[in-house]
Amino acid sequence: MEDTVETQLEMVGAIIEIAAEFAIAYGLQILGALVILFIGLKFAGFVGRRITNMCARKELDVTLSRFAGNAAKILLVIIVVIITLSNFGIDIAPIVALGGAAALGLSFAIQGPVSNYGAGLVIILTRPFTVGDTILVQDVSGVVDEVSLSATTLIGEDQEMITIPNRKVVGEILVNSAAHRIVESQIVIAAGSDPEQAIAAISKALADYPDMAEGSAPQVGIHDFSYGAIILGLRYWVPSSRYFRTRFEVNSAAYAALKGAGIELMSGGRVAILAEPPVS
């Protein structure tokens, strides 16, 4: 029993002695490498933020500014990691070769995500849209909140976050309407009604509405003809963040204007709002 205890004590003593020798020989080297790594990471973040802010002061695009800042940060982080590994006496040449081979094999397994990064780079460089623009792509519409290398994030009218992989954006039909979105509606009135009077009533209602986009006058006119009816068309621009709310309120205002002007409406006196044509 005593021999067993003595053996264990000797093993513990040997481990402590080895740890002490290692700490004496490499302690300062490890501590220095960790300090360099910590300072380097902080410096990389600082430089990335400064470049982003500098680009913003130069009034460059927000997406391009963020990309420049992140690219500088990633480059500095890679340099810091290389320096840290060198301080530990690790040869990075085999690691680089292994990383290249792994990246080649991985690219075949994750072609989708990799293509997102390539498409994101195309978006950032060509800038078909910027943060704050309203876009319609893949039957999805919203205000651009962020463009990263992997995905584009939109914010809908109800503040829902819509994430679109960048490969679904590049090469698709894209509609960019800046900060606004167009509303296109159709109202059916009886053929015996005076269309000019109806147009004047609707135009006045639209002119009095406060949430219309500035610089784009609403358009009201005869859109088409139907059996026993005249189809009036409405086109007007509204802020993207209030698209549906504004459309519903304008429909109510148009209905009240037509009713007040004594315009005979189809379907028993109800305004007939037809399906909205595609956004153009």
Give residue-wise pLDDT tens across range 157-173.
788 899 999 888 888 88
* CATH 1.10.287.1260 domain position(s) in the chain: 2-109
Looking at the chain, the domain(s) classified CATH 3.30.70.100 span 180-273
2-109 CATH pick, 3.30.70.980, 3.30.70.1560, 1.10.287.1260, 3.60.20.30: 1.10.287.1260
Where is 113: in which H helix or E strand? helix 111-126
Q: Give the 3-state secondary structure of residue 177.
A: coil
Every domain of the chain with CATH number 2.30.30.60 lies at 128-176
Residue 208 has a pLDDT of: 76
Half-sphere exposure of 274 (CA within 13 A, CB side): 16
Q: Give the CATH architecture of domain 180-273.
A: 2-Layer Sandwich (3.30)
| Beta pairing class for 229-239 and 180-190 | antiparallel
Q: 131-156: per-residue pLDDT in tens?
A: 888 888 888 888 898 888 788 999 88
The pair of three-digit structure tokens given for residue 74, joined into one six-digit string: 């990633």
Q: How many angstroms separate the Cα of 169 from the Cα of each of 58, 81, 107, 252?
A: 28, 34, 21, 36
Q: Does the pLDDT of residue 280 top 60, yes or no?
A: no
Tell me: pLDDT of 115 over 50: yes
Residue 80 tokens read as: 């810091």
pLDDT digits (tens, 9 = 90+) for 59-96: 666 666 777 778 788 888 877 777 777 666 666 666 66
CATH 3.30.390.50 fits 128-176, yes or no: no
